[in-house]
């Protein structure tokens, strides 16, 4: 049983098919974004984002828009979909989600445009960057499954070639104490100590609470100084950093060794620096960001 159809440019568009197709495709794109960005999201949020993506397909009923306006509208809608699906906990996480989602959309749009220009398949309509297929339910499910399998395979291949997409673990060693935290290997992170050249990782203060002496929490949060005789004082540093839109100094300490482990590979880095942040680095799947030189290919 289909909802009422609308005749459009000699094609009949069934609104239920249009909405179902775009909701499903948007959900697959968001699922692929989760894989590519290594950012987790609640399933209900992904579904809400997919519903918004499905509703945006109603743009197909508008008169043909100029391509510049189509691009602006699509960028705004994509940003809204990502915000609904992943939220905005911090700028780094949000930018990674936006980049992954836009990349997946551009790849899909390129495939659809190539299909439209070369084959002109019957029952396919493309207007205002919205694609409509008048296909049977079985064909639709099969195409969707094949498309998702292809995206998943592509993301897996990309992760193998670029380890910065992978999660790993890192063990911080100071004296006889150690702590192991889930970490994110960022191939674009080249933060280093300006004096020694030692690589710098960024870790959440809350995740290190059980590892650090209690008085260091006051040092890292309230900027209270330590007495000269304190055992940790020679380890303390201030690391300058620059990020999108802001810069400053991060309090830090020198570890004896930080060992990064990915799969069966473990790579120790003596004398690495741990910079401290009071903000959450991600959505809880990792609590440390690893510098690019600490896990060689």
Task: Give the model's pLDDT for residue 12.
Answer: 64
**What is the spatial distance between Cα 203 and Cα 201, in angstroms, rounded to a whole number?**
7
Examine the fold and report which residue of 140, 161, 182 is the final residue of a domain before the chain moves on.
Answer: 161
Q: For 60-101, what is each residue's pLDDT tens digit? A: 666 776 767 777 877 888 888 888 888 876 676 778 788 888
Based on the fold, state whether residues 21 and 150 are members of the same structural domain: yes
Based on the fold, state whether residues 114 and 260 are members of the same structural domain: no
Q: Which mean pLDDT values do the consecutive 10-residue runs of the chain (297 residues) have?
A: 46 69 80 72 84 79 71 81 80 77 69 54 56 61 66 63 65 92 79 85 90 84 75 85 67 92 84 89 79 73
The helix or strand, by DSSP H or E, that contains position 112, with its residue range, turns out to be helix 91-118
Examine the fold and report which residue of 126, 142, 161 is the final residue of a domain before the chain moves on.
Answer: 161
Buried b (16+ CB within 10 A) or exposed e, 190-204: ebbbeeeebbbbbbb
Based on the fold, state whether residues 82 and 185 are members of the same structural domain: no
Buried b (16+ CB within 10 A) or exposed e, 237-261: bebeeeeeeeeeebbbbbbbebbbb
Task: Give the model's pLDDT for residue 259.
Answer: 93
Based on the fold, state whether residues 157 and 168 are members of the same structural domain: no
- Which residue pairs from 233-238 have beta carbons closer than 8 angstroms and sit at least 24 positions apart in sequence? 235/174, 237/193, 237/273
Based on the fold, state whether residues 95 and 152 are members of the same structural domain: yes
Give the domain range for residue 136: 5-161
**What is the spatial distance between Cα 243 and Cα 226, in angstroms, rounded to a whole number?**
28
Question: Percentage of residues in the chain with pLDDT exceeding 70?
Answer: 66
Based on the fold, state whether residues 149 and 203 are members of the same structural domain: no
Based on the fold, state whether residues 140 and 250 are members of the same structural domain: no
Summary mean pLDDT of the chain: 75
Examine the fold and report which residue of 115, 135, 161 is the final residue of a domain before the chain moves on.
Answer: 161
Q: For 100-130, what is each residue's pLDDT tens digit? A: 887 777 666 556 555 545 555 555 555 555 5
Based on the fold, state whether residues 14 and 147 are members of the same structural domain: yes
Based on the fold, state whether residues 171 and 136 are members of the same structural domain: no
Task: Give the model's pLDDT for residue 87.
Answer: 80
Verdict on whether the full-model pTM lies above 0.75: no
Based on the fold, state whether residues 205 and 251 are members of the same structural domain: yes
Task: Give the model's pLDDT for residue 229.
Answer: 80
**What is the spatial distance between Cα 283 and Cα 297, in angstroms, rounded to a whole number?**
26
**What is the spatial distance between Cα 241 and Cα 246, in angstroms, rounded to a whole number?**
9
Based on the fold, state whether residues 252 and 280 are members of the same structural domain: yes
**What is the spatial distance between Cα 226 and Cα 214, in angstroms, rounded to a whole number?**
11
The helix or strand, by DSSP H or E, that contains position 141, with its residue range, turns out to be helix 137-161
The helix or strand, by DSSP H or E, that contains position 173, with its residue range, turns out to be strand 167-174
Provide the domain count of the chain: 2
Q: Please name every residue paired with 178 in a beta bridge, in sequence order, or none if there are none.
A: 173
Task: Give the model's pLDDT for residue 132.
Answer: 59
Q: For 256-269, what is each residue's pLDDT tens digit? A: 999 998 777 788 99
Based on the fold, state whether residues 31 and 132 are members of the same structural domain: yes
* CATH number of the domain where residue 284 is located: 2.40.70
Phi, psi at 194, each rounded to 5°: -65, -20
């Amino acid at each position: 049983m289909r909802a009422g159809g609308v005749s459009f440019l000699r094609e009949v568009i069934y609104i239920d098919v249009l909405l179902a197709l775009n909701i499903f495709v948007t959900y697959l794109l968001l699922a692929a974004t989760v894989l590519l960005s290594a950012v987790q999201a609640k399933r209900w949020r992904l579904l809400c984002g997919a519903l918004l993506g499905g509703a945006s397909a109603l743009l197909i009923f508008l008169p043909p828009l100029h391509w510049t306006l189509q691009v602006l509208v699509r960028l705004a809608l994509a940003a809204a979909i990502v915000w609904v699906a992943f939220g905005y906990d911090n700028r780094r996480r949000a930018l990674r989600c936006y980049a992954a989602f836009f990349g997946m959309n551009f790849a899909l749009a390129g495939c659809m445009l190539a299909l439209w220009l070369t084959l002109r398949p019957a029952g396919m309509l493309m207007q205002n960057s919205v694609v409509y297929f008048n296909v049977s339910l079985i064909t639709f499910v099969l195409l969707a499954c094949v498309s998702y399998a292809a995206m998943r395979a592509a993301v897996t291949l990309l992760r193998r070639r670029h380890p910065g997409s992978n999660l790993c673990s890192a063990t911080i060693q100071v004296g006889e104490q150690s702590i192991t935290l889930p970490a994110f290997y960022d191939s674009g992170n080249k933060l280093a100590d300006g004096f020694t050249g030692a690589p710098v990782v960024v870790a959440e203060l809350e995740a290190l609470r059980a590892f650090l002496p209690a008085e260091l929490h006051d040092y890292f949060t309230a900027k209270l100084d330590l007495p000269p005789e304190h055992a940790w004082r020679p380890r303390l540093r201030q690391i300058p950093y620059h990020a999108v839109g802001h810069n400053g100094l991060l309090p830090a300490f020198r570890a004896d060794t930080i060992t990064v482990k990915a799969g069966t590979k473990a790579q120790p880095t003596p004398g690495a620096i741990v910079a401290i942040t009071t903000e959450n680095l991600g959505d809880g799947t990792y609590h440390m960001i690893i510098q690019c030189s600490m896990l060689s290919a």
